[in-house]
């Protein structure tokens, strides 16, 4: 939508906002883009819809690139054990991500063996997805953790089988031409509207049983990946809004 640039409100006799070419309260400073929010949890008008409950064509097997082996039915998709992680065909960088998930209503196993999956930004940075409703495991592996690095600020899990929401703001790491880290990856995560990671810098791509680092530069974009950890986790309403670098 074209923005009106009629100076009816503002000032041009004020100092410049540091770091910008605009005066304080400048009436000609560009307007924020108009985005129509989604209705009842649906995607906003400018989102890239990755899964609408029926069409899984934005996804492929992470291993083979083939169409996914997960079940798609009744408005959701569900992990099928052994079919492997799935990832988006498109690549993304800095982004806002929304997805909804449900861990199995029938509780099986304990610790990391109960309702385990994961949301991998760039295919490398895992926000842990786990059934932690009355289920103990190591803190940096609980639901909402930057896996193996930072426990969530709260355990905001709903009961097994209930639909839950993840809202994630992810900033990809950047290196300079010499391979020196300029900015680490950063994650802000809401689980069921509760802040569980706040502008948290990751220590590097997430791993199991080892620490991480940024010694090996990687592209600032990559696929979004969801984990097959053997448990029948369900997903629906997945959308992403790429952010300007």
> φ and ψ at 141, to 5 degrees?
-120, 15
Give the position of tokens 């994650």: 187
CB of 120 to Mg ion, least distance (A): 9
- Give the footprint of Mg ion on residues 40-99 (CB under 5 A): none
How many C-beta atoms surround the C-beta of residue 185 within 10 A?
A: 24
Nearer to Mg ion, 116 or 200 (CB): 116
CB of 119 to Mg ion, least distance (A): 9
Q: How far is Cα 144 from Cα 89, in angstroms, rounded to an integer?
A: 25
- Give the footprint of Mg ion on residues 100-159 (CB under 5 A): 116, 118
The residues near 228 (Cβ < 8 Å, ≥ 6 apart) are 70, 79, 80, 81, 82, 83, 84, 85, 86, 117
Residue nearest to Mg ion (CB): 118
CB of 93 to Mg ion, least distance (A): 22
CB of 115 to Mg ion, least distance (A): 10
Nearer to Mg ion, 133 or 220 (CB): 133
Q: How far is Cα 117 from Cα 143, in angstroms, rounded to an integer?
A: 9
Q: How far is Cα 100 from Cα 107, in angstroms, rounded to an integer?
A: 19
Nearer to Mg ion, 88 or 116 (CB): 116
β-sheet bridge partners, residue 194: 191
Nearer to Mg ion, 23 or 158 (CB): 158
Nearer to Mg ion, 229 or 236 (CB): 229
Q: Considering CB under 5 A, how many residues would be counted as binding Mg ion?
A: 2
Catalog residues that contact Mg ion under the rule CB under 5 A.
116, 118
């Amino acid at each position: 939508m074209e923005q009106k640039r009629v100076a009816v409100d503002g000032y041009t006799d004020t100092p410049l906002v540091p770091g910008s070419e605009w005066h304080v309260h400048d009436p000609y400073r560009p307007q924020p883009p108009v985005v129509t929010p989604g209705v009842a949890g649906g995607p906003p008008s400018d989102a890239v819809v990755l899964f609408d409950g029926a069409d899984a064509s934005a996804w492929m097997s992470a291993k083979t690139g083939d169409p996914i082996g997960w079940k798609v039915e009744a408005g959701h998709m569900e992990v099928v054990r052994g079919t492997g992680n799935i990832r988006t065909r498109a690549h993304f960088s800095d982004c806002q991500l929304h997805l909804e998930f449900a861990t199995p209503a029938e509780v099986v196993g304990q610790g990391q063996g109960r309702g385990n999956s994961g949301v991998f930004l760039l295919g490398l940075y895992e926000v842990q997805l786990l059934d932690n409703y009355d289920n103990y495991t190591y803190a940096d592996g609980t639901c909402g953790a930057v896996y193996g690095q930072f426990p969530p600020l709260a355990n905001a899990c709903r009961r097994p089988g209930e639909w839950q929401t993840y809202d994630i703001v992810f900033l990809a790491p950047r290196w300079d031409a010499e391979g020196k880290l300029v900015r680490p990856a950063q994650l802000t995560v809401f689980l069921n509207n509760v802040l569980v990671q706040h502008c948290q810098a990751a220590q590097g791509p997430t791993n199991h049983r080892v620490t991480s680092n940024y010694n090996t530069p990687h592209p600032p974009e990559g696929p979004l990946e969801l984990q097959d950890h053997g448990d029948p986790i369900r997903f629906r309403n997945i959308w992403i809004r790429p952010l300007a670098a």
